[in-house]
Amino acid sequence: MENPANILISVGLIFLLALGTDALGRFTRLPRVTLLIVLGVVIGPEVTNLLPIDESRWFPVMANMALVMVGFLLGEKFTVQALKKYGKTIVLFSLVEVLGTAFVVACGLIVVGAPAEIALLLGAVSTATAPAATTDVVKESKARGPFTKILLGIVALDDAWGLILFSLVLVAVDVLLGSTGCWSGLLEGGWHVGGAFLLGVVLGVPTAKLTGRIKAGEPTLIEALGVVLLCGGVALWMGVSFLLASMVLGAVVANLARHHDRPFHAIEGIEWPFMILFFVFAGASLELGSLRNMGFFGLAYILLRIFGRFFSAWCCGLFSVVKQPLSRWMGMALLPQAGIAMGMGLLAVEHFPQLKNYILTVVIGTTIFFELVGPVFTRIALTRVGEIRKT
């Protein structure tokens, strides 16, 4: 059992060091998530070994707590009003982008020699975007216009579609590796996805009706954390996707809670400390020696994801989902990739620990790459379509 003093000291120091990385990011323009992962590597066992607790024991807990909150906040985007606001164009574009990118990356990796199970998992991970980074670029550049509106709508929906696809891929890989038979795999897959939807609805309906009564218009922080963490815990106990369950919970509450000004707005204030621990522990758990394994497959993943984004956007323009001038640059604007990709990679490793050295190193290495260069290309795309006003 961990020494309580070590736990308190570790968490306190991580939060304080995270403040320093945040300040450093303002001077270097590097994304906060990248700096937090690097911080984890530096204080982890592979470099200085300054972390006085076993990150491998705490990491799964922090990851699950952080991701269940992320799932809920993503679910809030699936309201009837939001879908009407985004419109048919944005919903179709985001769906084509997700399926097209996953298809290109998975098939491309198989062609260059990657095992099918690794190719499928990385194909699903490649669908993740970075809503926070993209929104930040738009705000910073003061971009405005139809391209910007469509872009923000797509990144709001992309990760939700991606999580659904990722949950299905996990089951497919289970069957592929022989962990389950074909029919039992289909039944397990149905339960993994269907059970998550059922749990989200069963918890979401009473939550929508009962919460937000103590403080008029908005659930308290205790209500918010209690319901969301309960959903994640029950989902793990039931053996269903806790990400999907929390996402469905968020969608149900957002659509049914008419007396809420903004469902579970308080979670946005408490989510970040959990995300800090999530990313720092992710960096600390990285085996630097296994980064060599990323080499060829990592480079192939980067090139295939870039091509997949451009190809999917081109297809949308070809079939008039969106006008050609907009589709020409949308793939470039959607290159950023951040936390959700990391979360998917970590969940894949949790399900298939034997694939850790391949999956985790590729996901972390390529996510850092896309976090660094992705926002730059988003700004270039906004400039090319003429929606950044020069001052």
Cα 373 to its chain centre, rounded Å, is 18
If one counts the domains in the chain, the total is 1
Distance CA 303, CA 148 (A): 25
User: Which tens digit of pLDDT belongs to each residue from 298-327?
Assistant: 889 999 999 999 998 888 777 655 566 677
Identify whether the C-beta of residue 367 lies closer than 8 Å to the C-beta of residue 127.
no
Domain-embedded: residue 391: no
| pLDDT computed for residue 7 by the predictor | 74
- Residue 133 belongs to what domain range? 4-384
Domain-embedded: residue 312: yes
Q: How confident is the model at residue 238 (pLDDT cuts 50, 70, 90)?
A: confident
Domain-embedded: residue 210: yes
DSSP state of 233: H
User: Which tens digit of pLDDT belongs to each residue from 146-204?
Assistant: 787 778 778 767 777 887 888 788 878 877 776 655 566 566 667 777 888 899 899 88
Domain-embedded: residue 113: yes
Average per-residue pLDDT for the chain: 77
Q: How confident is the model at residue 120 (pLDDT cuts 50, 70, 90)?
A: very high
Tell me, what CATH number does 265's domain have? Answer: 1.20.1530.20
Q: How confident is the model at residue 269 (pLDDT cuts 50, 70, 90)?
A: low
Task: Tell me what the mean pLDDT of segment 102-119 comes to.
Answer: 91
Task: Tell me what the mean pLDDT of segment 24-41 comes to.
Answer: 71
Domain-embedded: residue 389: no
| pLDDT greater at residue 287 or residue 234 | 234
Identify whether the C-beta of residue 252 lies closer than 8 Å to the C-beta of residue 206.
no
Domain-embedded: residue 340: yes
| pLDDT computed for residue 105 by the predictor | 93
Task: Tell me what the mean pLDDT of segment 275-293 comes to.
Answer: 70
pTM over 0.85: no
| pLDDT computed for residue 206 by the predictor | 86
Q: Which residues of 349-385 are buried (b: 16+ CB within 10 A; e: fewer)?
A: bebbeebbbbbbbbbbbbbbbbbeebbebbbebbeeb
Domain-embedded: residue 9: yes
Domain-embedded: residue 390: no
| pLDDT computed for residue 130 by the predictor | 75
Is residue 382's pLDDT more than 70? Answer: yes
Task: Tell me what the mean pLDDT of segment 31-39 comes to.
Answer: 73
